[in-house]
Each structure stands twice: as structure tokens, then as C-alpha cells.
């Protein structure tokens, strides 16, 4: 079975703390694929009322207001209300890109260009990093891309590896990802590297399905010109209210039943 079987502006010294792997033109990334197959999701890109461009994971075509509106206009791509549903593929990767690690706070910076005067700006750390030798990041990241790159991975899986002369599993060697262009015009080339002896089982992977999925009402709010930050603020407020409610219920239980706070022997 193929690796992906169901295929029908950044600074050069970007901090690498985010859990998603960022691909930057001019800064090659080196990764080892950790999953047997990617997870396929649907995604819509919209602009909220503040002008912020947001990628929304589709909650399902049967409940998604965007998909329902697309159906109402006959999937007419010329209609200004049409918003495409993009197929995106997610996988866990071990990031081996060379980085400079701050010895004081652990922040990591891509080791590109002249780093002789690099200073850590993580929470005003201020550590001098110019003398630090780069090393592989060795952090697990979520990598999300479209069909074209998955087709390259499928091709790599079926051709002889340049260092061994035979087909190798994608999870057994690093791949250098080299980007050209930017935005929708970005093209990524996947280049096999020498075989790796990294023990991938020693790293904890992400749950690729565990991310923010907005409700139908939240998506409608954004389509009507609402701000994405307002949605996030409302969710945080709801979470805070629920937490306070749980604490109040627990306090009431203890007040009415003192034994509830004691260890009961068996």
C-alpha cells in the first residue's frame, strides 16, 4: 500500500517552538516521517472580519455552513461566496533540522545565515547564542501539506534509495524539504538523505485528530464578519465557567458529606 493511498512571510531565523512544522523558502528542513500513513482532513480558508486569514478544519459536509453554501450556489467557483474545501494531509515527523538551542531557556532557532550575533529573545531571556554550535532539533512536529507532496512521498517509497540502491521505508531515513516560491505558489522538493538509526518509538507522537474544530454557529459567525479572536475568547470563557462549576460542585459535595474527602478502607 502506498504511503498516501487515497490521493485522487517568515524570517530565516524562525523560532521553532510551535508544534506545526513551518516550511520556509531558503531554509531547508530535515525530517523523518513517523507515521505509516497520513491523516486526511478537509480545510477551508476564510478571512474574518478583521482581515485575518484562517484555516478552518471542516466539521463535516453535512453540518458545515461553508459546504452547505457551496452546494446552494451549485459549487460555482466563480461565485464570490464559494470557498473551496481543500484536502490536507497530516503526519507526525521528527524534526532533525539543525538549530541553535539556548542553554538558558531551551528556545530553538533555525541555524541559518550569520548567527554570530544571535541573541535569545524568548521572554526577554537575552542569552548570547553566537558561540553555540548547531545540532539537530530532534523534536516531534505535525506536518500538514497537500496532495503534491504526498505524491512525492509515494514516489520515493517505490524507487531505489540513492544511498542503498533499494526501496526503503519512508520511516527509515531523513528527508530534506526544500521550498521555492511562497504562499500558494510554494513548491517543495523532497530529497532523501542517508539512512537514520533514530529510534522513533522513543518519541511521543501527536494525536493528529485532536485540534480545534469550530461549531456550525461559530463558523456562521465568522462568515457574517465576526472576529476569530472573539470565538477563541468565548471558548476560553466557557472553559473557565465550566471549571468553576466543577469546583463549586466538588466543594458542595465535601460540605454535605465530609467522608467524601477521606480515604475509605476496603
Residue 151 lies in a domain: yes
Expressed in angstroms, the distance from the first to the final Cα of the chain is 53
Q: What are the beta bridge partners of residue 144?
A: 90
**Can you tell me whether residue 109 is helix, strand or coil?**
strand
Domain match, 207 and 235 both? no
Segments forming the whole domain that contains residue 141: 29-97+137-213
Q: Is residue 186 part of a domain?
A: yes
- Residue 176: per-residue pLDDT: 96
CA distance 65 to 70: 9
Residue 222 dihedral angles phi and psi, to the nearest 5°: -70, -40
> Both 82 and 46 in a single domain?
yes
CA distances from 186 to 9, 55, 190, 228, 263 (A): 12, 17, 13, 26, 61
232 grid coordinates: 477563541
Domain contains 3: no
How do the pLDDT tens digits run along the chain, 266 residues long? 676 766 552 233 344 348 999 998 988 999 999 999 999 999 999 999 999 999 999 999 999 999 999 999 999 999 999 999 999 999 999 999 988 888 888 788 877 767 777 888 877 788 887 878 888 999 999 999 999 999 999 999 889 999 999 999 999 999 999 999 988 889 999 999 999 889 999 999 999 988 889 999 999 999 999 999 999 999 998 777 655 555 555 555 445 554 443 433 32
Picking from 190, 184, 222, the residue whose alpha carbon sits closest to that of residue 48 is 222
From 179, 208, 14, 198, select the one nearest 99 (Cα to Cα): 14
Q: Would you say residue 89 lies in a domain?
A: yes
Q: How many domains does the chain have?
A: 2
Cell of 15: 523560532
Same domain, yes or no, for 144 and 250? Answer: no
Question: Which pLDDT score is estimated for 259?
Answer: 41
In a domain, 249, yes or no: yes
69 and 177 inside one domain: yes
Rounded to whole angstroms, how far apart are CA atoms 235 and 56? 16
Amino acid at each position: 500500500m502506498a504511503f498516501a493511498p487515497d490521493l485522487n512571510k517568515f524570517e530565516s531565523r524562525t523560532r521553532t517552538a510551535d508544534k506545526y512544522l513551518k516550511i520556509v523558502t531558503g531554509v531547508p528542513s530535515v525530517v523523518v516521517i513517523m507515521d505509516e500513513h497520513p491523516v486526511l482532513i478537509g480545510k477551508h480558508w476564510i478571512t474574518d472580519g478583521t482581515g485575518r486569514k484562517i484555516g478552518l478544519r471542516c466539521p463535516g459536509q453535512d453540518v458545515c455552513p461553508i459546504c452547505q453554501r457551496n452546494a446552494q450556489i451549485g459549487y460555482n467557483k466563480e461565485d464570490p461566496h464559494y470557498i473551496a474545501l481543500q484536502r490536507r494531509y497530516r503526519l507526525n515527523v521528527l524534526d532533525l533540522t539543525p538549530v541553535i538551542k539556548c542553554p538558558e531557556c531551551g528556545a530553538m532557532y533555525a541555524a541559518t545565515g550569520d548567527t554570530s550575533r544571535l541573541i535569545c529573545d524568548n521572554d526577554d531571556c537575552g542569552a548570547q547564542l553566537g558561540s553555540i554550535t548547531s545540532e539537530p532539533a530532534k523534536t516531534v512536529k505535525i506536518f500538514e501539506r497537500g496532495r503534491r507532496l504526498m505524491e512525492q512521498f509515494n514516489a520515493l517509497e517505490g524507487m531505489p534509495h540513492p544511498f542503498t540502491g533499494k526501496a526503503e521505508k519512508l520511516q527509515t531515513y531523513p528527508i530534506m524539504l526544500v521550498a521555492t516560491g511562497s504562499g500558494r505558489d510554494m513548491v517543495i522538493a523532497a530529497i532523501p538523505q542517508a539512512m537514520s538509526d533514530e529510534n522513533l518509538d522513543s518519541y511521543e507522537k501527536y494525536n493528529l485528530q485532536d485540534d480545534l474544530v469550530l461549531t456550525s454557529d461559530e463558523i456562521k459567525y465568522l462568515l457574517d464578519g465576526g472576529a476569530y479572536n472573539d470565538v477563541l475568547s468565548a471558548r476560553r470563557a466557557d472553559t473557565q465557567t465550566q471549571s468553576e462549576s466543577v469546583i463549586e460542585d466538588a466543594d458542595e459535595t465535601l460540605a454535605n458529606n465530609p467522608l467524601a474527602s477521606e480515604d475509605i478502607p476496603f
